[in-house]
C-alpha cells in the first residue's frame, strides 16, 4: 500500500470524497527509472536515482534510497518506455517541488515537464542510420514488382 495515499475515503450523498483521495488528475502506476537533483538557487544540493511509483499530469510519486526534505525544488529525468518513431529513446524531464516525503517515498508537484530525446548508443547508430534507407529500398522494390517504378 502506498503510504502517501489514503485508501479509505467516504462518499457524501453528492458523491464528494471526504478525508480521502482529492486529486483530480488520474494517476498511472508506472515503475520507471528516475534520476533526480535537488536544487536551491540554481545549485545542485544532492542527486540520486530511484523508481517512480505513480505519475499524473500534475505530479508524481517516486521511491529513492533516502529521505528528501520537503519544500525544495527538484529536477527529474525519467526514462520513458516508448521510443520516438520506434528508434530514439525518450526521457520525461520534470521540474517541480518536493511536497511531501514519507520514508523513502517522495511526492512531487510538477511545475514544468517536457519530453526530450536521449542520445542513441554508439552500437545502434549504424543500425538507426541504415533503417530509413532500408525502408525506402523496400518501398521502391515493391513499386518495381508492381511495375510502377525502378531502382537505378
Tens of pLDDT, residues 84-120: 998 899 999 999 999 999 999 999 999 999 999 987 6
pTM (global) more than 0.85: no
Phi–psi pair at 114, nearest 5 degrees: -160, 155
pLDDT tens digits, 125-137: 555 555 554 555 4
Q: Which three cell numbers, joined as nine digits, stand for 121? A: 548508443
- Sign for the CA dihedral angle at 50, 55, 60, 61 comes to negative
Residue 18 to residues 10, 27, 107, Cα–Cα distance (Å): 5, 19, 21
Cβ(102)–Cβ(3) below 8 Å: yes
Amino acid at each position: 500500500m502506498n503510504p502517501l495515499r489514503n485508501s479509505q475515503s467516504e462518499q457524501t450523498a453528492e458523491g464528494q470524497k471526504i478525508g480521502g483521495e482529492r486529486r483530480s488528475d488520474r494517476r498511472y502506476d508506472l515503475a520507471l527509472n528516475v534520476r533526480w537533483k535537488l536544487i536551491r538557487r540554481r545549485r545542485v544540493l544532492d542527486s540520486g536515482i530511484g523508481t517512480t511509483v505513480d505519475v499524473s499530469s500534475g505530479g508524481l510519486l517516486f521511491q529513492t534510497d533516502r529521505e528528501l526534505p520537503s519544500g525544495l525544488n527538484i529536477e527529474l529525468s525519467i526514462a520513458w518506455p516508448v521510443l520516438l518513431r520506434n528508434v530514439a529513446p525518450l526521457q520525461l524531464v520534470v521540474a517541480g517541488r518536493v511536497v511531501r516525503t514519507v520514508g523513502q517515498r517522495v511526492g512531487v508537484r510538477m511545475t514544468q515537464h517536457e519530453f526530450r530525446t536521449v542520445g542513441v548508443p554508439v552500437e545502434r547508430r549504424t543500425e538507426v542510420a541504415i533503417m530509413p534507407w532500408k525502408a525506402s529500398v523496400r518501398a521502391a522494390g515493391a513499386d518495381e514488382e508492381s511495375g510502377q517504378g525502378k531502382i537505378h
